[in-house]
Each structure stands twice: as C-alpha cells, then as structure tokens.
Amino acid sequence: MNHCLLEVEVLEAPKIRYTQDNQTPIAEMNVRLEGLRPEDPAGELKVVGFGSLAQDLQNRGQVGQRLVVEGRLRMNTVARQDGIKEKKV
C-alpha cells in the first residue's frame, strides 16, 4: 500500500488546468518537505489534486502556508536538457 501523510510548505501558488474534455480541474503546486533531523536537507515535491480538491487548492493555497497533505507517492524518470535522466517524486 502506498499511502503518506506529510506536513509541507507551499513554495508557489497552485496552478490549475483542465482535462482534455474541460470537465475535471487539476491543480499542481511545488512544496517543501523538511528533513527528519535538523541536519537533513529539505526536499521538494510536486503536489497534484483533482476535482473539488483542485479548486480548494487554488482558492486556499498560498505561498509560505503550511499544509498537511495526504495521498500516495509516485516516482517518475525525467530526461533533463543535458541528457541525464533523474528521478522525481
């Protein structure tokens, strides 16, 4: 089971787009996740919400705000412009 509950800080205002049929809103925003220990570096994640959750994120999500997000993590492999592949959560 892939389930997580994280406290994060919003880094940029949520951006909203719609599915191809213009029926379902999708919100995306980048957030910061603090390390477990003070010496651990912070990490960044992209949070995606669909439907009414997307509308709530757009209406309420503000830069600097701390949120508790619940969902699942997904790894993607992305090719950078220099040709190196990196994994993103």
Q: How confident is the model at residue 89 (pLDDT cuts 50, 70, 90)?
A: confident
> Is the Cβ–Cβ distance between 45 and 30 less than 8 Å?
yes
Mean pLDDT, rounded, for 59-67 = 93
Quote the pLDDT of residue 10.
96
**Which domains are delineated in the chain?**
4-88 (2.40.50.140)
* Backbone CA torsion sign across 85, 9, 73, 60: negative
pLDDT tens-digit readout, 6-51: 999 999 999 999 999 988 999 999 999 998 898 999 999 999 999 9
CA distance 59 to 19: 19
CA distance 61 to 25: 15
pTM: 0.79
The candidate with the shortest Cα–Cα distance to 15, out of 37, 42, 47, 40, is 47
CA distance 62 to 16: 14
